[in-house]
Amino acid sequence: MASVRFWPDIKETIFPPSLVPEGKRRVVRCRCGSNDWNEGGRWLAEYCCASCGQYIQVFEKKD
């Protein structure tokens, strides 16, 4: 994952690759503190928080 954007924010949160050690995963928590995401998003690569309904869009790294 290269970056995420909480809906309806315009600005993305970008994760530099150097901050994630090799073999580890980036964990993104919702603003409510939950880490329970559903694939109930409205678009491709969008997920919905099961606790509060917040949408988040995930952007993959492009080589």
Residue 21 lies in a domain: no
Residue 23 lies in a domain: no
Identify the residue with better confidence: 3 or 30. Answer: 30
Sheet holding 13-14, edge to edge: 13-14, 3-6, 55-59, 46-49, 37-38
Percent of the chain clearing pLDDT 90 (strictly above): 22
Residue 45 lies in a domain: yes
Residue 62 lies in a domain: yes
Which residue segment(s) compose the domain that 62 sits in?
1-14+32-63
* pLDDT reading at 63 higher than 60: no
User: Per-residue pLDDT tens for 36-54?
Assistant: 999 887 788 889 999 999 9
**Confidence (pLDDT) at 62:** 65
10 Å Cβ neighbour count for 49? 21
Percent of the chain clearing pLDDT 70 (strictly above): 87
Residue 60 lies in a domain: yes
Please answer whether residues 48 and 38 qualify as being in contact, where contact means their C-beta atoms are separated by less than 8 angstroms. yes
Residue 26 lies in a domain: no
Q: How many domains does the chain have?
A: 1
Residue 37 lies in a domain: yes
